[in-house]
Structure 1
Amino acid sequence: MSQFTKYFVFLLCASSTLAMFDESTLSDDMKKMFKILHDICVNQSGASEALINKLKIAEFPEGDKNIKCYVKCLLVQTGAMDLQGNVDVEAAMDAIPDALKDGIRVGAQHCVAKFDHVTDHCQKAYLLVQCLYEVDAEAYMMV
């Protein structure tokens, strides 16, 4: 797992509360990498910036396939989900500090099991991220 992937997964799974997260604390290199990832996933999914901004504040708009595919793209690009829609919780755990792993692992395993039957990969990714927020809003972060 690349350093970028580890950092992204860490932010996605284990950051402080979204409202308290200050993007200015990210290095310029990390901001550039996030911008590249964002641009790739916007390009692939066609998601609107307005809906992406809603995700950043933990609003989960329904009925838009593009925003769901944006989330799938993020998970695939970072290695948290493969192209067959399988989620690798343990791979994501590599990026999490040891002190936080157990709690995050339990929540992630719960969410993965809850939506394992979902065959639409975009829907599955979206439901997983929404579930992670519902399980632990304090650990939610969307970049």
Structure 2
Amino acid sequence: MLTVLLVISAIAACAKGAAKIPEDMKEMAQALRDNCIEETGVDPSLLGPCENGNFADDPKLKCYFKCVFGQMGAITEDDELDADAFESILPPELSVLGKSIMACKDTKGSDGCDMAMKFNQCIYGKDPANFLVI
């Protein structure tokens, strides 16, 4: 169950479209969010605007997204995305995100933090109505 939540986390926090975090996972999502905010030192006010495609060019925000991916085991030791892991553990409520995840699976960056940010931007670009931020 925690693994499923972590997939949700990597892609998202407040649902604005059809994709919604299952009710029974919201408490775990908040714990993940709190942990990655503490670990990276990101300003929490930078997370909300991402839901609308406004990704601040902030190193801590980039590393926040990497933290979320790391918590779910979706980043390899080489700081590459494991999109198959994402897709394979999506709960039915979030299956709509699978197409965007696979479309963005080859996203690259200068490091793991940059890749995580670019992956989120790609997901948003493919399906802004279902984009989530934890």
| Common topology (TM > 0.5) | yes
Which of 62, 72, 81 is residue 78 of structure 1 equivalent to? 72
In structure 1, the residue matched to 2:110 is 119
Alpha carbons of structure 1 residues 136 and 75: separation in structure 2 relative to 1, 3 Å: same
Q: Which amino acid aligns with 1:109?
A: M
Structure of larger gyration radius: 1
Q: Is 125-134 or 89-98 further displaced after alignment? A: 89-98
Deviation at 1:111, TM superposition (A): 1.9
- In the TM superposition, structure 1's runs of 4+ consecutive aligned residues that sit over 6 Å from their partners are 20-23
Distance 1:91 1:20 in 2: 22
Q: Which amino acid aligns with 2:3?
A: T
1:91 aligns with 2:85: yes
Distance 1:121 1:87 in 2: 9
Whichever structure has more helix as a proportion of its residues is 1
Alpha carbons of structure 1 residues 18 and 80: separation in structure 2 relative to 1, 3 Å: farther
In structure 2, the residue matched to 1:134 is 125
Unaligned runs of 5+ in 1: none
Identity %: 25
The number of aligned residues is 134
Superposed CA RMSD in Å reads: 3.2
8 A Cα contact 1:89 1:105, kept in partner: no
TM-score, normalised relative to structure 1: 0.74
SS of 1:74's equivalent? helix
Unaligned runs of 5+ in 2: none
TM-score, normalised relative to structure 2: 0.78
Distance 1:37 1:17 in 2: 16
